[in-house]
Amino acid sequence: MFDTTIQPIDTTLNVPSEESIQAAKEGGPPVNLELQLLMGILLPLGQNGQPVGAPYGVLRVPLNKEGAISLGKALLESAENLPDTVRSDLAVASSMADVNKVAAGLGQFS
């Protein structure tokens, strides 16, 4: 047994096409923004047990107009209070050898 951390590795925002937005304005199907988070798990498989990040799935969060505006304001306000340099303790594979170690380590759990 070991300790692990689950955290986002990458974040993207999917925006509907202009055509979809225009169609929704004219009574077509509703559209949303979609916040997409690539999630990873830290496994102690690097040198000296250093954690290595392994992607394991994607979370998709639909946001309507009001939700997107509210989240945007909260993110902006919070981000302005952060220091200019933000460091992450997320360790990622730096070589194929590390990727192979993660794959082998994950095989232990199947």
| pLDDT tens readout for residues 20-77 | 999 999 999 999 999 999 998 877 777 777 777 788 899 999 999 999 999 999 999 9
In-domain check, residue 49: yes
Q: Is residue 72 part of a domain?
A: no
Tell me if 57 is assigned to some domain: yes
Residue 103 placed within a domain: yes
In a domain, 75, yes or no: no
Residue 31, classed as helix, strand or coil, is: coil
> In total, how many domains does the chain have?
1
Residue 39 inside a domain? The answer is: yes
In order of 50, 72, 77, 78, 86, the CA distances from 81 in angstroms are 31, 15, 7, 5, 12
State residue 52's pLDDT score: 77
DSSP 8-state secondary structure symbol assigned to residue 77: H
Q: What is the pLDDT of residue 50?
A: 77
How do residues 71-97 score in pLDDT, each as one tens digit? 999 999 998 998 887 566 656 666 777
Residue ranges making up the domain that contains 14: 6-67+90-107
- For residue 69 the two structure tokens come to 């505006």
pLDDT given for residue 72 in this prediction: 93
